[in-house]
Structure 1
Amino acid sequence: MKTYLKRALCIATTVGLMAPTIATATNGYFLIGFGAKSRAMGGTGVAYNMEGMAAAFNPATMVDSENEFDLGAEIFHPPRSIYHDSGVLGFTDEPSNHDLFMIPSMGGTYKYDDNITLGFAFIGAGLKTEYNQSDTSSSCQRTNSVTPGSCPPTVFNPALTTVPGGEAGVELVQMQILPSIAYKLNNQHSVGASLAIGWQFFRAEGLESFGDLGFTPNSTAIDSGWDNSYGAGIRLGYFGKFLNDDLSVGVNYSSRTYMTKFEDYNNLFAEQGDFDIPENYTIGLAYKVIPDLVVALDIQRINYSDVKSVGNPGPNAADPGDFNPLCPGLDDDSCKLGGDNGMGFGWVDQTIYKLGVDWSYSEKINLRAGLNYGESPIQSEEVLFNMLAPATPESHITIGASYMFNKDYELAVNYMHAFENVITGPTAFGPGGSVVEGTNAAISMVQNSLGATLRIKF
């Protein structure tokens, strides 16, 4: 057991250090699920055992896992774009660069005895955008350019201060390793707990306009390269079986993961660089309709608004002379980016509904499908800052299958499509530099992903 746990944690750490491309997600900036089986079932898993990945959903469900290890990867394609018509910030209509990402997933479980199961999972979340800025050299890379070499200002570079050929955007990578334990109280009820050990990395580039427009007291620290922080939280789970084990019920609570501050971005994120991973909780049911068919339903709540750097409102679209809605009439540093009442992305809490089916087609083959829906946490009046984080998708469909090669090896595959969702709204910088009644900006994203997970029993 010790050798297994050491190897598993070593692999988890190695993959974590190699995974800066976990840079886009879909339920806000959380993934809909982890591993090919869950992602094929709309992200369900809190009341339905996901084998080696069980700790990622509900540590209590590990009691139904065997001695096994899951290793997966997903290719993620999320084209995203922005539109902004402004007299101050220029006209911008362009996609974000870099539309392919790799998302790893990993987990394992070990039956210590008849009542205790140990395990872990490695999970990630995040987002990334990168937009071409005005190139005043020999050619203009902006998609809306008319004359090479004479590009207009952009939303992130109104004063043409970005170096020629420069880019603007942000990248956030959040990773958690979840060492976990589950205890079977009796044949019907189990409980579990995880320690959520978090690491996160962030960088911003090309955001000089935040200083030029007075959003922050010090513009020189906005483009500071990579910075990192770390922290911890807890997860608690319950798993119960009823109606002759045909019905299972699961509950998972994930506390806020308290992270150290991004010191290099203490003038960008509210509360001097604070960026905790938000609290979230899930309840779920799984019902065996017939011996070969299971239907699972999860409802998840993510409390984005409790993290001020995410939940505080952005620039006031109704009054360009009074940017921060939390500090009307004030213009001191506490109300600017990085302050205790500093502006954020204005995300609201998100409720997500997940539905999945698992059909045992034969002894070796399972077929899966699912739906996932959650209203975007971005409100129409918060479009401006969310050009950096256009988490717009709401509706997802998923399918997948698995094949058992023998008693020790199984391969699962999945496909996900998130339908395009466009969010439009006003900003504080209208076409004539005045207040906009209606819309002058838009953000959008569509997603496709294809993944696979190898399950190994030992």
Structure 2
Amino acid sequence: MKNVFFTLGLLFTSSFFYAQTGHIMQGIGATNMSMGGAATAQPLEISGALQWNPAAIAVFDSKIIKFDLGLFYSSPELYSTVPEFDSSGNPTGNFYSGNTKDDRGVSPMPALAMVWGKENCKHTFGASVFGISGFGVTFPESSTNPINMPQSMGGFGRIESDYMLLQFGFTWAYEFSDKFSIGVAPTFNYASLELMPNPTANPTMAGYPSTNKASATGFGGQFGLFYDSGKGLKAGASYKTQQFFSAFNFENTYLDNSTGTNEFKMNYPAIISFGLGYSKNKFDLALDYRIVDYENTDGFSKTGWTPTASVAGFGWKNVSIVSAGIQYKGFEKLPLRFGYTYSSNPIDSKVTMFNIPATAIIENAFQFGFSYKATNDLVFDAVYHHGMSNGKISGQLLNPMFVSSSNPYGAIPGSEVSYEMKTDLIMIGISYTLNVKSKINN
């Protein structure tokens, strides 16, 4: 076994653990989540409109405040297989395998939104505080899974990360006519990140260090167009710019208690959204298509090893997202909603190791939600979400000692690392209208 642990010891100085519970939120608030996140052309309530199309808030002619709180649970599982090598570095044909389940538990998801609209006024204003991105994982130390074995035995021990991005938005929409509006929203961001171990730092003989929780601030903007034919059909488009952040400044502590510092910059990607909506009698339909530009975003665009054996970035491909939802209003005071979300996988199998465990890879998500209209100005919302990865995301273990012209990432023959996950969310919301007037087709 000592040769296996020696192999893992080499990997300790060259492995990247990037863990997520969903880097980009598919929707904001209970109503928008229950529609699969679709709102670019179907603004059923203010949170989804503020998040996906600032021009769409022009449909609201009232002062509205909305608060949502969700409990999010993910269940990623990490698998690894390593070959045994003899003293000459040749594989013996024996393998060791195991798996570890995440024990992070439940995470809260808050959202606060406000809109100021007025009848016969062409200007509508909004403000929001949304948790739009986050990831985190806690894989405990294991005596059976090679990749989580104690560090004294050549494994990585406990793997933990925690990332959060809070966005503050201020929105203005202008109504050119009853059918067409534009919108703009400057955005300001606060993010925090903690990694154990920290692969963005240069390793020493003691391996990669653990870090403090570092923070960064950023800014960006969003622009939108919204069209309502007045006959049920609606269309919208929006562009959220890349959110440009300052660097995370990490204070690192290595296993031998030595210390050091390093910086890592990670922006939030630009997103372009197109949407169609249709409202008729008792039904509201919504369909959105989004492109997430990871390939031109700091922290995601590059990948591979640096000359000092730290990791350059995550190496993600662009992501396509399809969101669809339907609302049925046949029950008095109790509209029902069903939503579906599809997301493509940004991670190539060649760089799976650099993204352990990429728990944001939820390809299919299903939602059911409803609202209860207690009064004309008070509405309660609820949603249940279930998401799944499309089987295991797998690749080979990587080590810079194996790098060659034909093996640029240093894949270890016969090795494998993989992960899969499911997500569940329960969210409730409350919306209060100060003066009940709206141009929405309810």
Is the Cα–Cα contact under 8 Å of residues 425 and 438 in structure 1 kept in the other structure? no
Give the 3 Å change call, closer, same or farther, for CA 156–426 of structure 1 in structure 2: farther
Question: How many angstroms apart in 2 are the aligned matches of 1:381 and 1:439?
Answer: 12
Aligned to 1:195: 186
Give the 3 Å change call, closer, same or farther, for CA 238–157 of structure 1 in structure 2: farther
Aligned to 2:363: 394
Question: How many angstroms apart in 2 are the aligned matches of 1:384 and 1:228?
Answer: 25
Q: How far does the alpha carbon of each residue in 1:10-65 deviate from its partner, in whole angstroms, 9 at most, with x for none? A: xxxxxxxxxxxxx9544xx1111001111111111111114231211211111112
Aligned to 2:214: 227
Aligned to 1:3: none
SS of the residue corresponding to residue 32 of structure 2 reads helix
Aligned to 2:398: 428
Aligned to 1:375: 344
Aligned residues: 386
Aligned to 2:259: none
Question: How many angstroms apart in 1 are the aligned matches of 2:203 and 2:220?
Answer: 31
Which of residues 40, 44, 47 is equivalent to 2:41?
A: 47
Question: How many angstroms apart in 1 are the aligned matches of 2:105 and 2:275?
Answer: 33
Aligned-pair CA distance for 1:423: 0.8
Aligned-pair CA distance for 1:222: 4.0
Question: How many angstroms apart in 1 are the aligned matches of 2:278 and 2:289?
Answer: 15
Aligned-pair CA distance for 1:168: 2.1
SS of the residue corresponding to residue 263 of structure 1 reads strand
SS of the residue corresponding to residue 311 of structure 1 reads coil
Q: Which has the higher strand share?
A: 2
Which of residues 400, 403, 428 is equivalent to 1:452?
A: 428
Give the 3 Å change call, closer, same or farther, for CA 160–45 of structure 1 in structure 2: same
Give the 3 Å change call, closer, same or farther, for CA 196–100 of structure 1 in structure 2: same
Give the 3 Å change call, closer, same or farther, for CA 156–366 of structure 1 in structure 2: farther
Is the Cα–Cα contact under 8 Å of residues 73 and 424 in structure 2 kept in the other structure? yes
**What TM-score results when the alignment is normalised by the length of structure 1?**
0.77
Question: How many angstroms apart in 2 are the aligned matches of 1:69 and 1:25?
Answer: 28
Aligned to 1:115: 122
Aligned-pair CA distance for 1:204: 1.1
Q: Which letter maps to 1:57? A: W
Question: How many angstroms apart in 1 are the aligned matches of 2:99 and 2:78?
Answer: 6
Which stretch of the first structure deviates more once superposed, 302-311 or 85-94? 85-94
SS of the residue corresponding to residue 46 of structure 2 reads helix
Is the Cα–Cα contact under 8 Å of residues 279 and 302 in structure 1 kept in the other structure? yes
Q: CA RMSD in A?
A: 3.0
Question: How many angstroms apart in 2 are the aligned matches of 1:257 and 1:266?
Answer: 26
Is the Cα–Cα contact under 8 Å of residues 299 and 353 in structure 1 kept in the other structure? yes
Aligned-pair CA distance for 1:121: 1.8
Q: Does 2:110 correspond to 1:104?
A: yes
Question: How many angstroms apart in 1 are the aligned matches of 2:345 and 2:352?
Answer: 12
Question: How many angstroms apart in 1 are the aligned matches of 2:235 and 2:210?
Answer: 47
Is the Cα–Cα contact under 8 Å of residues 81 and 445 in structure 1 kept in the other structure? yes
Which of residues 7, 28, 43 is equivalent to 1:34?
A: 28
Q: Which letter maps to 1:94? A: T
Q: Which letter maps to 1:352? A: I
Is the Cα–Cα contact under 8 Å of residues 392 and 443 in structure 1 kept in the other structure? no
- Correspondence 1:242-261 to 2 at 5 A: 242=229, 244-261=230-247
Aligned-pair CA distance for 1:449: 0.9
Consecutive unaligned residues of structure 2, counting only runs of 5 or more, are 1-18, 86-95, 254-261, 404-409, 435-442
- Correspondence 1:293-312 to 2 at 5 A: 293-312=283-302
Q: Which letter maps to 2:117? A: K
Is the Cα–Cα contact under 8 Å of residues 46 and 114 in structure 2 kept in the other structure? yes
Which stretch of the first structure deviates more once superposed, 107-116 or 445-454? 107-116
Q: Does 2:331 correspond to 1:362?
A: yes
Q: Which letter maps to 1:111? A: G
Which of residues 172, 179, 189 is equivalent to 1:181?
A: 172
Runs of 4+ with >3 A deviation: 23-26, 87-92, 152-162, 214-222, 432-439
Give the 3 Å change call, closer, same or farther, for CA 384–156 of structure 1 in structure 2: farther
SS of the residue corresponding to residue 398 of structure 2 reads coil
Is the Cα–Cα contact under 8 Å of residues 292 and 318 in structure 2 kept in the other structure? yes
Give the 3 Å change call, closer, same or farther, for CA 69–374 of structure 1 in structure 2: same
Is the Cα–Cα contact under 8 Å of residues 41 and 356 in structure 1 kept in the other structure? yes
Q: Does 2:75 correspond to 1:79?
A: yes
Aligned to 2:8: none
Q: How far does the alpha carbon of each residue in 1:144-199 deviate from its partner, in whole angstroms, 9 at most, with x for none? A: 27xxxxxx66379476587xxx6322111011011111110111100111111000
Which stretch of the first structure deviates more once superposed, 189-198 or 373-382? 373-382
Give the 3 Å change call, closer, same or farther, for CA 425–158 of structure 1 in structure 2: farther
Is the Cα–Cα contact under 8 Å of residues 256 and 278 in structure 1 kept in the other structure? yes
Question: How many angstroms apart in 1 are the aligned matches of 2:411 and 2:207?
Answer: 29
Q: How far does the alpha carbon of each residue in 1:363-417 deviate from its partner, in whole angstroms, 9 at most, with x for none? A: 4110100111011212211221211433221011111111100011001111111
Is the Cα–Cα contact under 8 Å of residues 32 and 43 in structure 1 kept in the other structure? yes
SS of the residue corresponding to residue 312 of structure 2 reads coil
Give the 3 Å change call, closer, same or farther, for CA 189–420 of structure 1 in structure 2: same
Aligned to 1:14: none
Question: How many angstroms apart in 2 are the aligned matches of 1:87 and 1:232?
Answer: 46
Question: How many angstroms apart in 2 are the aligned matches of 1:78 and 1:67?
Answer: 36
Question: How many angstroms apart in 2 are the aligned matches of 1:156 and 1:347?
Answer: 30
Identity value in percent: 20
Aligned to 1:144: 144
SS of the residue corresponding to residue 39 of structure 2 reads coil
Larger relative CO (CA 8 A, sep 6+): 1 or 2? 2
